C-alpha cells in the first residue's frame, strides 16, 4: 500500500474510533487514490439509499398508526346506522353501510401485512358496493380468473382497490352511459399479473408516457409535475420498495377507448 494511502486510512480509522462519525470519514478527500475514492463513494450511495428506504418505511408506519386512531367509534357508528336501516326496511342502505364498515376495517388494520388476492378482491368488491350507492347501475365490476388457485396468491395489502378506484374516478365517472371495470388475473412461472381495465374516457398519450416514466423511475421524469395517478404512484412505489425494480405498474390507454393498469408481482402462495 502506498505510504499516503496507508497514512490516510489510519487517520480515517482513528477519527472514526474517536468520533463515530462515518459520514465525516466518507466525505474525506480520497482523490489521490481512485480505487479508494470509488469505494467510499459507493459505500456512501448505498448507505443513503438504505436510509431513504428506512425513512419511507417509518413514514408508512406512522401513517398507519395515525389511521388507527379510535377506529371503533367509526365501526360502532356504522353498525348503528345499519341496524336503523334494517329496522326501517331499507336493505340497500344497510348493505352499503355494512360494506363501508368492512372496507374501513380492512383499510385501517395493519397495512404492512400480506394478504391473499381473495382478500384484496373482497375489499375491491366492498368499495364497488359503496360506489353503486352513487352511480347505481351505471357501473359494473367483472372478474376474469385464469386459475382459481390464483385466489390464494400472497400479495401486499391495498394493491387492488386503489386501481379499481382510479378506474372509476378517472375512467368511468366522466363517461356517458354504462361503464365496466374488469379485473383480469394471470400468471407465468414466477410472476403474478393483475390487470384492471376500464372502458372509460381514457387518457392522452402524453399523460400515459409521463406516468409510465415515473413508474419506471426513468431519469429525467418529472416526479413533481401533476399528471394524475397519485394513488397509482403510491402503489407502484410500495411494490418497487418491497420487491425491486423488476415489478410494479404499467399503463396502457387510448382516449375515448379506456385504460388498463397492469401490475406485476412475484408469484407467491401461502406456505403450508
Q: What pLDDT does residue 78 have?
A: 83
Each as own residue / partner, the long-range contacts of residues 235-240 (CB below 8 Å, 24 or more positions apart, any chain) are: 235/158, 235/159, 235/162, 235/163, 235/263, 237/56, 238/60, 238/156, 238/159, 239/156, 239/159, 239/263, 239/265
Higher pLDDT, 43 or 262: 262
Query: What does the CA dihedral 51, 233, 181, 159 come to, rounded to 10 degrees?
Result: 10
Tens digits of per-residue pLDDT, 197-220? 999 999 999 999 999 999 987 544
Q: How far apart are CA 214 and CA 217, in angstroms?
A: 5
Global pTM value? 0.69
- Dist. CA 24–CA 9, nearest whole Å: 13
Considering only residues 155 and 7, tell me which one the structure prediction assigns the higher pLDDT: 155
- Say what the alpha-carbon torsion angle 221, 225, 230, 234 is, to the nearest 10 degrees: 40
Q: Residue 212: CA atoms inside 13 Å, Cβ hemisphere, count?
A: 15
Taken in order of first residue, the domains within the chain and their CATH numbers are: 3-67 (no CATH), 136-266 (3.30.565.10)
Q: What is the pLDDT of residues 143-182, one digit of tens each?
A: 999 899 999 999 999 999 999 999 999 999 999 899 999 9
For the chain, first and last CA: distance in Å?
54
Confidence band, pLDDT 50/70/90 cuts, at residue 226:
very low
pLDDT of 69 strictly over 60 = no
Q: How high is the pLDDT of residue 133?
A: 86
pLDDT at 199: 96
Q: CA-CA distance, 226 to 214, in Å (whole number)?
A: 11
Amino acid at each position: 500500500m502506498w505510504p499516503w494511502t496507508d497514512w490516510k486510512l489510519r487517520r480515517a480509522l482513528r477519527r472514526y474510533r474517536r468520533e463515530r462519525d462515518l459520514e465525516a470519514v466518507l466525505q474525506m478527500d480520497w482523490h489521490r487514490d481512485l480505487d479508494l475514492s470509488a469505494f467510499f463513494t459507493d459505500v456512501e450511495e448505498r448507505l443513503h439509499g438504505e436510509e431513504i428506504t428506512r425513512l419511507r418505511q417509518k413514514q408508512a408506519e406512522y401513517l398507519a398508526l395515525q389511521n388507527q386512531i379510535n377506529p371503533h367509534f367509526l365501526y360502532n357508528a356504522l353498525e348503528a346506522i345499519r341496524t336503523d336501516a334494517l329496522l326501517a326496511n331499507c336493505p340497500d342502505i344497510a348493505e352499503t353501510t355494512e360494506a363501508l364498515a368492512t372496507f374501513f376495517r380492512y383499510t385501517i388494520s395493519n397495512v404492512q401485512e400480506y394478504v391473499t388476492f381473495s382478500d384484496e378482491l373482497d375489499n375491491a368488491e366492498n368499495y364497488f358496493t359503496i360506489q353503486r350507492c352513487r352511480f347505481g347501475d351505471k357501473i359494473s365490476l367483472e372478474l376474469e380468473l385464469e386459475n382459481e388457485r390464483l385466489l390464494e396468491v400472497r400479495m401486499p395489502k391495498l394493491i387492488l382497490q386503489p386501481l379499481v378506484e382510479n378506474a372509476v374516478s378517472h375512467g368511468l365517472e366522466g363517461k356517458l352511459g354504462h361503464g365496466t371495470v374488469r379485473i383480469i388475473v394471470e400468471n407465468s412461472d414466477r410472476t403474478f399479473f393483475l390487470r384492471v381495465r376500464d372502458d372509460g374516457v381514457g387518457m392522452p398519450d402524453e399523460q400515459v408516457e409521463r406516468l409510465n416514466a415515473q413508474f419506471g423511475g426513468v431519469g429525467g421524469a418529472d416526479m413533481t409535475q401533476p399528471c394524475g395517478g397519485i394513488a397509482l404512484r403510491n402503489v407502484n412505489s410500495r411494490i418497487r420498495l418491497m420487491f425491486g425494480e423488476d415489478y410494479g405498474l404499467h399503463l396502457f390507454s387510448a382516449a375515448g377507448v379506456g385504460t388498463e393498469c397492469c401490475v406485476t408481482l412475484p408469484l407467491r402462495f401461502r406456505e403450508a
